[in-house]
A and B are shown apart, each in its own frame.
Chain A
Amino acid sequence: MAIATLPDSVVDELVEICGEDRVFTGATALFNRARVPAPFAIHSWESHTPQAVVLPTSAEQISEVVKLANRHRVPVVPRAGGTGLTDGAVPLRHGILVDVKLMNGIHEIDVVDRTVTVGPGINMLKLNEVLRPHGFMYPDDPASYPCSLVGGRIGTNGWSLIGSRFGHVKHLVISMQVVLPTGEIITVGHGGGRKNRSSSSGYQLKELFMGHQGTLGIVTEATLELVKRPELEFSAFWTYTKYEDAWKATGELARSGYATIAGVVLFDEEKIAYLRRDDEAYIPQPESAKAVVALAMYGNADEVRPGAKESMRIGKASGGVYMGDEISHADWAARHDRYATPLHGRIRKTGQVVPMSWHCEDAAILYSKLPEVRERWHRIADTIIEKYGIYDDWGMFAYTSGPYKPWGDYLAEIDIGIWEQELNEENWEGYVWAKREIARVAIESGGSISACHGSCRVGEVDLVPQELGGAYEVMKTIKRALDPNNIMNPGKYLLDDAYEED
């Protein structure tokens, strides 16, 4: 079966706009931009390939590409790092894929008003390599820190591991330049300039252009917060014999009132069991260790130290056993890299080791609901593990999520391993069912289907109208108004419904 192609005349126009060496229609260019790390419907790979790929270098080029797409009614799919977990950068209707990786410049570092202006193709680790000598950092710190790109972080409304101290992407992006679905180039932010952080003028539109998964435009430049590199980092890990005690300790630490708290993380029993599969930090822990609480604080030395002391008291008083300096420091530093290891996949019945893809299901869940959601989620995982055999439960994390105030709702995540090589229509349906049920539990507990990835994958997306209620109708109205021809990443978030009345 040959993959879908664009008419030569359209490709010629793309070449005219982006240049001959920036337009690709070869098979490898297309197949390698069809997927993201989330479990992929590998049995229908060719239905997710774009028809052409462009690597533009300016907002003007992107604007022209989008206008061209409107003229020819060809879908446009924006793609940055391609590391998202809800398929934002996966084409559902083929079309032109706008890959922004070449737009990775640092345009301005303003050390007085503390901003940095960048292209959407830059990675945070790379940006911070440049900022470090100035004594600053851009504190967006997701698990994908070494690989995700600023444009994708905006498109998914990303969440940061240290967001309780420094804020998440929506708080860290001061303003941005966006190419609208009809090709106009606008700047959204606060006030007339790029660097102002607050304004009461007009509608507050910045957040509208975040987390839309490429359905409302393409960000072409962003002005971001710079923060002083912390003088001191304090991290501590405790083990608990009961999940409930660990959960209580998590809440107590998070509500302790120290502004230096960057994050508190709760590992459940299944997560510890998963980490014990090989992790030298966890294998030596006594069998009685059934849950772990981790804490990190950042700031000036004289503000971190008192909070650290009080945290150690809370940890001990709540029944926690401090895991020691070595693990506390190393494990915190290593969190970015431990977030998925396909080699850990196991078939439950036989214990056979098989390479599994990682499905990270994230939801925003109130602290008070975490124990109940945990039980229900593991039951859902058990159901598909027992029924299909190719799934595996890798346990749960819960992270503090509130910006500047680490209480309220948490990012709760259940990690499920999937042996993709064995996927077929039937067991894929099992996965879709599980996603839907996990999302349903999140909504029923008063939470959100997603705290950070977005929720436009098959399964979960069915419940988005339920989560948003009347606001989903507003979302459709906005989509149709801004994208009259439905060319921006069509098919995502069930937004085709917005055009059905036509």
Chain B
Amino acid sequence: MAERTTPGQDTNGQGNGSPPEEFFAEWRNAAYNCFSSGHKFCREVCPVMQVTRDERYTPTAFHANVVAMEKGHLSLEDVADDYTFCTMCGACELRCPNTLFTGDFYRFRQRTIDIVRAVRTLAVKAGIHQPAWKRWADLTDRWGNEPVLGWNTETSATKVRAWAAGLGLPTGGETVLFADCEAAFKRPSVPRSVALLLQAGGIEFGLMNQQWCCGGPMWETGYEDVALKMAEHNLIDWRKTGTKRIICPDPHDYITIVERYPEIDESFDEFEIVLALDIVAELIRDGRLKLTTPVERTVTYHDPCRLNKRLGKWQAPREILRAIPGLTFVDVDRVTQWSYCSGAGSNLFVEQPELTAEISRRRIGKVKELEGVETLVSACPWSERPLTEQGKEQGLEVSDIFELVAEAAGFEV
């Protein structure tokens, strides 16, 4: 749809909703640090910009809009839609000259992801909703887990352990496995593989009494109240069963719990949050998990954005893949992958499904350029949804790394 400006209605401060002073007090200088630099090194690594080429969706615009809102040129209503065009992958922050060259000295980092989240949150609080995100949040609130199976298939907390049928996993205990909504309901082979590998490696663990969504996508799309409700429930559940250690196979759960939960829980230090990739890598390294079944396949690896770009975690999956017998691993370095993304992040696929599909289509295209690669391996269930769809279109298999390791360990999942 081409947008039309009705004079006086939605431009230059005439639209509805101006952020409160606290918002500007927090973001004024950060926004200006980008505005005054204005170089847009972020543009060409941004997965959204690579497809849309539309300056409204640059990280630069996300900062300039804040300056413009304070000057009265733009309203929250004017800008709200634009802020849906972000996967929160973090490439822009890595590439920002402010962060790269002076950030450490001034203890400053251009926090584009946080500014996008702040504007989305303000918009929701002001009653400006994106229809699909609102519906998604409402159902998450009602069901306890995200509606990953469609609007009409309930993903209730009572069914969240269905993937573990027959594995004999106890409830609670010191260590629990936290299987995210997407994997638990949509790709159960992922948590099942992880559970089998942990069992084989001699790790004792259980499942939560009643697991709810980690709250991450709710925070990311501006539905802070729903996010808090989810997180508080999970914290109570952990404490009720004496849990101290939470294993996360999904990067989105992991980053949400390590970044958001400490903000809302003063005693969060009592918990240890572990990435399943790190444990599995350690089990293989220590010889506690034997990979003896050759997997005769040529694969490459997709660095999930939250691991590679946002947390700097890229070594463990490579170590794991190199340990699988029979596997030919064609690596694409992590820096090149700064400009790669599946397009699934921060629920872009819910609000802008065509954009997610195009980002994924191009990601698969990058794999097709690699000679002889049959399978793209990811370590993020959310990325695997659009990548699998586009892989089918282009004749490429998409696997989860744990599915592959389980195969190498002799399991049929």
Contact = CB atoms under 8 A, between A and B. Distances in A.
B is bound to A: yes
Interface of A: 1-3, 5, 8, 11, 15, 20-33, 35-37, 40, 42, 45-46, 55, 81-83, 99, 101-102, 104, 121, 123, 125-126, 144, 146-147, 278-279, 334, 337-344, 353, 355-358, 420-421
B168 to A, nearest CB: 50
Nearest to B9: A2
Contacts of A2: 7-8, 11-12, 14
B53 A101 contact: yes
Given A338-B101, A420-B32, A27 B38 contact: no
B98 A25 contact: no
B192 to A, nearest CB: 38
A416 B13 CA distance: 32
B92 to A, nearest CB: 12
Given A2-B14, A28-B78, A356-B36, 15 more contacts: A5-B7, A25-B2, A26-B5, A28-B74, A32-B64, A32-B65, A40-B38, A45-B71, A121-B53, A144-B39, A279-B101, A334-B101, A341-B101, A342-B32, A355-B29
A52 to B, nearest CB: 9
A46 B73 contact: yes
B5 A147 contact: no
Interface in B78-112: 78-79, 82, 95, 97-98, 100-103, 105-106, 108
Contacts of A37: 37-40
Given A32-B61, A147-B40, A344-B102, A45 B55 contact: no
B43 interface: yes
Given A20-B2, A31-B73, A421-B32, A337 B58 contact: no
B233 interface: no
A278 B102 contact: yes
B137 to A, nearest CB: 24
Given A25-B3, A27-B11, A46-B12, A102 B53 contact: yes
5 contacts: A22-B2, A29-B54, A146-B41, A353-B106, A357-B36
B74 A355 contact: no
B77 to A, nearest CB: 10
B98 A278 contact: no
Interface of B: 1-5, 7-8, 10-15, 29, 32-33, 35-41, 43-44, 53-56, 58, 60-61, 64-65, 67-68, 71, 73-74, 78-79, 82, 95, 97-98, 100-103, 105-106, 108
A19 to B, nearest CB: 8
B106 A278 contact: yes
A97 to B, nearest CB: 10
B55 A99 contact: yes
A341 B102 contact: yes
Given A45-B73, A337-B100, A28 B5 contact: no
A343 B103 CA distance: 8
Contacts of B67: 42
Contact of A83 (B10, B39, B97, B103): B39
The 6 closest A-B pairs by CB, nearest first: A37-B38, A278-B105, A357-B36, A101-B53, A26-B3, A27-B11
Nearest to B10: A27
A420 to B, nearest CB: 6
Given A32-B58, A32-B65, A343 B8 contact: no
A23 B54 CA distance: 11
Given A29-B56, A83-B40, A353-B106, A5 B5 contact: yes
A33 B55 contact: yes
A20 B2 CA distance: 5
Contact of B56 (A32, A125, A334): A32
B82 A28 contact: yes
A42 B39 CA distance: 16
Nearest to A45: B73
Nearest to B80: A28
A240 to B, nearest CB: 24
A338 B36 CA distance: 15
B36 A27 contact: no
B78 A342 contact: no
Given A27-B73, A341-B97, A358 B3 contact: no
Contacts of A101: 53-55
Given A342-B98, A343-B102, A1 B3 contact: no
A23 B1 CA distance: 9
A111 B3 CA distance: 44
A343 B61 CA distance: 19
B39 A15 contact: no
B1 A21 contact: yes
Contact of A15 (B2, B15, B58, B82): B2
Nearest to B45: A146
Q: Which of B79, B100, B101 has the most CB of A within 10 A?
A: B101
A40 B73 CA distance: 15
Nearest to A419: B36
Contact of B36 (A30, A147, A355): A355
Given A26-B10, A421-B32, A342 B64 contact: no
B97 A340 contact: yes
Contacts of B43: 81, 123, 147
B100 A355 contact: no
Given A1-B12, A2-B14, A32-B56, A342 B44 contact: no
B262 to A, nearest CB: 27
A147 B41 contact: yes
Nearest to A22: B2
A357 B73 contact: no
Q: Which of A23, A40, A125, A341 has the most CB of B within 10 A?
A: A341
B38 A357 contact: yes
Contact of B4 (A1, A25, A45): A25
Contacts of A42: 67, 71
A37 B108 CA distance: 20
B3 A146 contact: no
Contacts of B53: 55, 99, 101-102, 104, 121
A27 B12 CA distance: 7
A49 B157 CA distance: 51
B106 to A, nearest CB: 5
A369 B34 CA distance: 36
A29 B79 CA distance: 10
Nearest to A14: B2
Contacts of A104: 53
A342 B12 contact: no
Contact of B55 (A1, A32, A46, A344): A32
A244 to B, nearest CB: 30
Nearest to A81: B40
A225 B90 CA distance: 34
A27 B10 CA distance: 7
Contacts of B106: 278, 343, 353
Contacts of A337: 41, 97, 100-101
Contacts of B54: 24, 29, 55, 101
A343 B100 CA distance: 12
A5 B33 CA distance: 30
A432 B24 CA distance: 30
A27 B5 contact: yes
A431 B397 CA distance: 59
